[in-house]
Chains A and B, each alone.
Chain A
Amino acid sequence: MNREVILKELEKIVGKEYATNRSEDLYIYSQDPGASLPRSVDFVVMPNTTEEVQAIVKLANQEKISIVPMGGGLTLSGLIIPVKGGIVLDMKRMNQILEINQFSRYALIEAGVTTGQIISHLNENFQDLQPPIPDAPPSATVAGNMLIHGSGYLSQKYGGHGAMINGLEVVLPNGEICKLGSCAVSDYWFDRGPIPDFIGLFISAFGTMGIITKLSIQLFPKPKMRDIVFGLMNSPKDIPNVLLKITATGYAEDILLGMQDKPEWMKGYIFIMTYITGDSEEDLDRQRKTLKRIYRKTNARFMKPSEKMKNLYLEKPIFAAGAADFRKGGGFEYVGAFMPLEKIPEAYEKGADLARKYGILPTLGSRLIGGVHTVVMFFSYSFNRADPKDMENAREALHETNKLALDLGGIPWKSELDGQKLILERIDPSYKKLMKTFQNALDPNKIMNSGNWEVN
C-alpha cells in the first residue's frame, strides 16, 4: 500500500481526527526534548481502545511498518522517535482509570493515564493512598515510567517502579491480546504470580515485545506527615557509609543525593535528602534526631534548608524539568545508570571530571532503589537546543558517560541507541541469544520499535 492508502486504513481504525501524516505533526513527533537527532516519522496515530491498537498492529504487520508506542514522550533518550520510520502510536487517549482497589491496593489503568492524572485522582478520591511518582513532569504516563523500569518517589522504600507492576494487558506483535499476571487467571489484578512471570519481558524492552494497553500498578498507604532531613558531605567517599546507616534505620521513604557546582555555595558538597514520614510531629522529630546523629557520625552535616528549598523537593512530582532550564537553552538529557553502591563515590568523581572535560557544569545526582540494592546515578547535561554544536557536545558527553557507567559496573538506564549498542557489546552472549530468540518468536517481521535492542 502507498502512504495515502495506509493513512486511510489508519483513519478507518481510529477516526480521521486521530491519524495524521501532516508535516507539522510529523515534525513534532520526529524529535524529543533530549539530545537525539530528529528521525523521520511516517504517521502518528492515537488509538482509544485495545481493539484499535490491535487493528493498527495487524496493519503494521501486514505492511511491515515499524510501530513505536509513545507515552509522555519524556524519556529524553529518543526511545519514542522511530529508528526506521513508521507509525508513532501516541497512547494518551487511552486514559481511563478503570479501578482503584483499596483492599489489594492497586490501580488498574489504561496505558495513556498520566502521572498527574493518577496523583490528582487519588488526592481527590482516595486520600489514604499514594502512587509511585517518577522524577518527571506530570505529563509522563504511568505506563511509560513503569515500562522503562523507572524510579522516583517511594523507590527507596518499595523498590523500582517496574517491580510495582502487578499485571499487563499487552497487544503482541501478531495482534493477539494477552493478559499477564494474576489477571490471566483471576478477575483481580493484584499480583504478578504465582505463575511463570513474563511481565519482565516487557519492561525496559522499549516496545519491542508488544504494546501495553492496560496495567495494574501497586499503590501504597499515604503517611500523614512527611519531611526531609537535609545533610551535606564534603566527599563522595562518605556516601556508602552514610547510606548504609540511614537505610538500616528503616526510616527513609526516599533518599536523594545531589552535587552541582552552581550556585557557588553548593560547590564542593554532596547534598543528601532523606525523606521521612510519620503520624505526628513527635514521630518525625524522633527520626530527625536519629538522622542528625547519623549524619554527624558519618562526616555529614545536618543542614537546615529554606522552606522554599524544602517545598521544592516535597512537591510531587518533583520539578525535574527545571534542569532543562539550567542554561536557559531548553535542552536536557542525562545518563541515568543503575549502579552498585560501592561504585557511587567513583561515579561522582569521574562524572564531574567528565562533565568538566566537555565544558559542562557538573550536575550529578542519585536516588536509592529498594534500600541500597541499586542506586540510580544521574549524570546530567543541559544544553542549548538552538546551538547544534552544543547539542553535539552533549551527545558526545552522554556517550562517554554511558561507557563510564558500564566501566564502573553500572548499566545505563532507558538508554538511547548508542547506549543500547554499548550494553549489547558487553552483555553475556547467551543473554543476547535469548533476546534474539524472543524477538524472532514474537516479532518475526521486526515491526516493534525496530532498531531498538537490535541483536544481530
Chain B
Amino acid sequence: MELNLEQDWKDIVHRCFRCGYCKFTYEFSDFNCPSYKKHRFETYSTGGRLWLIYGLISGEIPWSQGVANVLYACSTCGNCTENCRFDKFNDFLVDIIEAARAEAVINGFCPEKQKALIERIENSEMYNPYGEKNSDNEDLKKEYDLPDKAEWVYFIGCTSNYRQKNLRDATLRFLKKTNIDFTLIDEHCCCSPVMRTGQINSVKDFINYNIAQINNAGASKVITSCAGCYRTLKKDWLKFGADYDFQIYHTVELVKKLLDEGKLKFISEYNKTVTYHDPCHLGRHMDLYEIPREVYKHIPRIKFVEMKRNRENAWCCGAGGGVKIGYPEWSVEISKERLEEAKITGASVISSVCPFCKTNLSDANIKFNMNFEVIDLIEILDNIEFEISGN
C-alpha cells in the first residue's frame, strides 16, 4: 500500500491509539525514540505527534509554532514504524509526520533553521543544503579520468561532496579499482533534507533534473555511498512520481556482490575492534541490515562486535529529519548516546555506511572526547589492500 500524500494520511492518522509501543525497543529495554527520550512529555512521542496532527486536521487545535516545533523535533528515524503494532498503519508513521511538516510549511510554520535548507538548495549557485558553491564534478572527472558516458553513475551526495570528502574520495578510489565503467554527473541535491522537512515545492524539478543528468550519462545503474541518497533515490523519488529505468545501489551492495562473485579479495589485515552503526535510512527505511555486516566480517583480522541496540532496534545517530540543522546541540547528544553504547562493546572504531551518520557521530566524538575512530566502511576498504579480478 502506498500512501497518497495529498489525502490518504489524513484519513488514517486517527488510528493511532497512543498505546506507546512506538517509544520502545522491541524488547522494551529502553526508550528508543530520541524525541520522547529527550523531552519525556507524551506530546513528543510519535503518538503525541499523531494526535496533534489529528487535532489540526479536525480543527480542534490551530497551527502554531509550538505544534510545528513538536512535529520537527523528530529525527524520522523510524523506530516507531518498527514497533507500532497496527498493520497497514505502522509503515506510514514517518510519512505522516513528513506530510504534516509539508502542511506546516504551507501554513507558514516551518522553523527558521530548517528553512535554510530549501533556501540553499534552491539557490542557483548552490543546489545543496550546505550553502556551498555547486560542484559540477568536472574537476573530479578529470582527476579520476572518468568518461562522459558510462554504465554507472556515482551519485556522490551533498554530504560526501561538501563535508565528507575523504569518504567521497575513498568511494572514487574504490570504484576505480573495481574497474567498473562509471562517471559523475553535475548532480543537484537528491532532496532528502527538504523532503524530510516538508519543503517539497520544488522537489519534482530536482528529481527530473537529476534523472535527466543520469540518463544523459547513458547510465543504467546509479551507485551512492550515502544512505540518505540511497533511500531518497530508490524510494522517495518514486513516491514523487519519478519515472526512471536505472537501478540504484549502495556501494556496500556492490562490495558484497564482488565478494560473493569471488572478484574481490581482501589481502591486508585490519586489526581493530569495530562496531557498526545502522543508518536509519539504510536499515529501518530500506531493510538493509545484513549486507554491511557480511562485508565487515570478510575483512581479515577484524574484530566485529555488535552494540546492544542493532538492526531494527538501532539507536539513531540523531542527524536525520532536519534535527541536525534544527537542534544541533540535541542532535550530537543523540550521537553521544550511540557512542556510549559503542564504548560498552570495547570497540575502538565505530563505522557506518552513511556520511551524515559519520558527520554526527564524529561531531559527538570530538565534543565529548569519546576517543573513537569514526570511519565509513568504504574508508576502511580504502585503507586496506585488496585484489580485484574478472571485471
Binding site for B on A (CB under 8 A): 17-18, 20, 22-25, 27-29, 31-33, 44, 46, 72-74, 90, 92-93, 114-117, 119-120, 123-124, 137-140, 319, 321-322, 324-325, 328-332, 384-386
Instruction: Report how far A202 CA is from B61 CA in the complex, Å.
Output: 36
User: Are A28 and B21 interface neighbours, CB within 8 A?
Assistant: no
Question: What are 9 A-B pairs at a CB distance below 8 A?
Answer: A23-B61, A24-B64, A25-B43, A32-B18, A324-B19, A325-B15, A330-B14, A385-B14, A385-B54
Instruction: Report how far A74 CA is from B19 CA in the complex, Å.
Output: 7
Q: B51 — which chain A residues lie within 8 A by C-beta? A: 27-28, 31
User: What sequence of 0s and 1s flags, for each residue 51-85 of chain B, a beta carbon within 8 Å of any chain A beta carbon?
Assistant: 11011001011001011001000000000000001
Q: Does B16 contact A (CB under 8 A)?
A: yes
Instruction: Report how far A385 CA is from B12 CA in the complex, Å.
Output: 11
Contact partner of A44 (CB less than 8 A), chosen from B16, B20, B41, B86, is B41
- Chain A residue at minimum C-beta to C-beta distance from B87: A325
Contact partner of B17 (CB less than 8 A), chosen from A27, A115, A124, A332, is A332
Q: Quick one: which of B18, B30, B39 has the most chain A CB within 10 A?
A: B18
Number of A-B contacts (CB under 8 A): 102
Contact partner of A114 (CB less than 8 A), chosen from B14, B28, B39, B64, is B28
Q: A24 — which chain B residues lie within 8 A by C-beta? A: 43, 52, 61, 64, 66-67, 70
User: Are B40 and A137 interface neighbours, CB within 8 A?
Assistant: no
Listed from nearest, the 10 A-B pairs whose CB atoms lie closest are A139-B20, A116-B28, A321-B19, A324-B17, A137-B19, A386-B14, A120-B29, A330-B15, A120-B28, A24-B66
User: Are B40 and A18 interface neighbours, CB within 8 A?
Assistant: yes
User: Are A139 and B23 interface neighbours, CB within 8 A?
Assistant: yes
Q: Does B287 contact A (CB under 8 A)?
A: no
Q: B60 — which chain A residues lie within 8 A by C-beta? A: 27
A121 smallest CB distance to B (angstroms): 8
Q: Quick one: which of B16, B20, B89 has the most chain A CB within 10 A?
A: B20
Contact partner of A23 (CB less than 8 A), chosen from B54, B58, B64, is B64
Q: Does B42 contact A (CB under 8 A)?
A: yes
The verdict on A325 contacting B55 (CB below 8 Å), with A23-B66, A25-B41, A114-B28 known, is: no
User: Are A329 and B61 interface neighbours, CB within 8 A?
Assistant: no
Q: Does B24 contact A (CB under 8 A)?
A: yes
- Chain B residue at minimum C-beta to C-beta distance from A31: B51
Q: A321 — which chain B residues lie within 8 A by C-beta? A: 17, 19, 21, 85
Instruction: Report how far A331 CA is from B15 CA in the complex, Å.
Output: 8
A67 smallest CB distance to B (angstroms): 17
Q: Does B48 contact A (CB under 8 A)?
A: yes
Q: B66 — which chain A residues lie within 8 A by C-beta? A: 22-24
Given contacts A25-B43, A28-B41, 17 further A-B contacts (CB under 8 A): A22-B66, A24-B43, A24-B64, A24-B66, A28-B43, A32-B18, A73-B42, A90-B40, A90-B42, A92-B40, A123-B27, A137-B19, A140-B20, A325-B89, A328-B15, A330-B15, A384-B14
For window 147-190 of B, CB contacts with A under 8 Å fall at: none
B15 smallest CB distance to A (angstroms): 4
B362 smallest CB distance to A (angstroms): 27
User: Are B20 and A72 interface neighbours, CB within 8 A?
Assistant: yes
A313 smallest CB distance to B (angstroms): 14
Instruction: Report how far A123 CA is from B40 CA in the complex, Å.
Output: 25
User: Are A28 and B28 interface neighbours, CB within 8 A?
Assistant: no
User: What sequence of 0s and 1s flags, for each residue 342-356 of chain B, a beta carbon within 8 Å of any chain A beta carbon?
Assistant: 000000000000000
Instruction: Report how far A384 CA is from B18 CA in the complex, Å.
Output: 14
Instruction: Report how far A385 CA is from B30 CA in the complex, Å.
Output: 30
User: Are A116 and B24 interface neighbours, CB within 8 A?
Assistant: yes
Q: A123 — which chain B residues lie within 8 A by C-beta? A: 27
Instruction: Report how far A427 CA is from B341 CA in the complex, Å.
Output: 55
User: Are B86 and A325 interface neighbours, CB within 8 A?
Assistant: yes
Q: B19 — which chain A residues lie within 8 A by C-beta? A: 33, 74, 137, 139, 321, 324
For window 69-119 of B, CB contacts with A under 8 Å fall at: 70, 85-86, 89
Q: A328 — which chain B residues lie within 8 A by C-beta? A: 12, 15, 89
For window 316-333 of B, CB contacts with A under 8 Å fall at: none
Instruction: Report how far A353 CA is from B244 CA in the complex, Å.
Output: 57
Instruction: Report how far A23 CA is from B40 CA in the complex, Å.
Output: 16
A212 smallest CB distance to B (angstroms): 19
User: Are B52 and A137 interface neighbours, CB within 8 A?
Assistant: no
Instruction: Report how far A8 CA is from B276 CA in the complex, Å.
Output: 44
User: Are A138 and B18 interface neighbours, CB within 8 A?
Assistant: no
User: Are B85 and A319 interface neighbours, CB within 8 A?
Assistant: yes
Contact partner of B24 (CB less than 8 A), chosen from A44, A73, A138, A331, is A138
Instruction: Report how far A46 CA is from B38 CA in the complex, Å.
Output: 13
Q: Quick one: which of B19, B24, B40, B58 has the most chain A CB within 10 A?
A: B19
Instruction: Report how far A324 CA is from B21 CA in the complex, Å.
Output: 13
Instruction: Report how far A332 CA is from B20 CA in the complex, Å.
Output: 15
- Chain B residue at minimum C-beta to C-beta distance from A22: B66
User: Are B14 and A28 interface neighbours, CB within 8 A?
Assistant: no
The verdict on A124 contacting B21 (CB below 8 Å), with A27-B55, A384-B14 known, is: no
Q: B20 — which chain A residues lie within 8 A by C-beta? A: 72, 74, 137-140
User: Are B17 and A325 interface neighbours, CB within 8 A?
Assistant: yes
Q: A139 — which chain B residues lie within 8 A by C-beta? A: 19-21, 23-24
User: Are B14 and A90 interface neighbours, CB within 8 A?
Assistant: no
Contact partner of B27 (CB less than 8 A), chosen from A74, A120, A322, is A120
User: Are A138 and B17 interface neighbours, CB within 8 A?
Assistant: no
Instruction: Report how far A140 CA is from B14 CA in the complex, Å.
Output: 21
- Chain A residue at minimum C-beta to C-beta distance from B21: A137
For window 130-147 of B, CB contacts with A under 8 Å fall at: none
A251 smallest CB distance to B (angstroms): 29
